[in-house]
Amino acid sequence: MERILFGDNQFFAVNHISDEKSRSQSIRFKEDSAIIRTLDYARDAGINTFMCTTHDRISNICDFIRANPEKYGDFKIFPCMPYAHKYANAVTELGIMGTLKEYVPGNFIGSLFKGGVAYLSKDYLSIMELMIDAEMKMFKGISTPVIFLQNVITDLLLGLRMKEILIAFHKYVRKKYNAEAGFITMNMPRLLQVLEEAGIENPIICSSINKVGFRMSGGKEVYEETLRTKKFRAIAMQVLAAGAVPPKEALEYVCSLPNIESILFGASSRGNIHETASLIQKFDENKLILNPNL
């Protein structure tokens, strides 16, 4: 994985600071061309990995990338699934069975009508695989070396102690897509423990990591200890703690931590993207000077 990953929150009006900024971003990125332009700003700053949800509009972005292979030949996407709002909206409009018909391909629906709930409970791992396939269709022909399970599902499965689904996700994306499984969570220490118990070695875990403990279940100190003592590939997100920490201070803290393989951030302007990338590079270089054996 690259050191810096570019996220998509700003494109789809997700802002943890204010509703006003969300509305402003929604207007700003109303056209797909604005998203492409911002991705190009990130590429200009040396960032070649886009970590994004499976929002319907991402399909248009994938079409553009496929149509311009000479420009995006080395560009990678890390899909994050499922996009919960998409399915919630579909259930509201179409109902549960209508949503299944809309998003799940093949003969599954016919079997479901025949077997009802018994079939559903019996073959939920197959349903999961079908849903992954449905989500991954938009990325055909694009490099997707890591496929992530969104925290809304990861943490639900953790709470229900259904680690067999986490294991199945890990195995399926490796077998079907020759990709590694990544897991987004709001409880990194607990998830790592469960994955280790399941025999998943050196997993990829994306979680909130910031100086003030924002959305870090168990507290900042537990996260720091886990980073020091455990073997896994950590991706730090929400490093600014929803604006509670100034960028320079926030990035200096995250870059000082051990075992942070990648830093995920999103930004709307060329200036903010280049400033963030430059700060990460600066703090990484300073860390190497102080610790040449790293």
Residue 236 falls within a domain, yes or no?
yes
Report pLDDT for 112: 47
Residue 131 falls within a domain, yes or no?
no
Report pLDDT for 12: 84
Q: Which of 6-15, 106-115, 277-286 has the lowest mean pLDDT?
A: 106-115
Report pLDDT for 90: 58
Residue 161 falls within a domain, yes or no?
yes
What confidence tens digit (pLDDT) does each residue in 145-164 have?
Answer: 999 999 999 999 999 999 99
Do residues 230 and 218 make contact, with C-beta atoms less than 8 angstroms apart? no
What confidence tens digit (pLDDT) does each residue in 31-49 have?
Answer: 999 999 999 999 999 999 9
Residue 93 falls within a domain, yes or no?
no
Q: Count CB neighbours of 178 within 10 A.
A: 9
The candidate with the shortest Cα–Cα distance to 276, out of 287, 265, 284, is 265
Whichever domain contains 231, its CATH number is 3.20.20.70
Do residues 66 and 139 make contact, with C-beta atoms less than 8 angstroms apart? no
Q: Enter the pTM of the model.
A: 0.88
Cis geometry, peptide bond prior to residue 82 (ω within 30 degrees of 0)? yes
Q: How far apart are CA 137 and CA 134, in angstroms?
A: 6
Q: Count CB neighbours of 81 within 10 A.
A: 20
The domain tally of the chain equals 1
Q: pLDDT averaged over the chain?
A: 88
Do residues 266 and 237 make contact, with C-beta atoms less than 8 angstroms apart? no
For the cut 80, the answer to whether the pLDDT of residue 110 exceeds it is no
Backbone torsions φ then ψ of 2, nearest 5 degrees: -75, 160
Domain that holds residue 182: 4-83+141-290
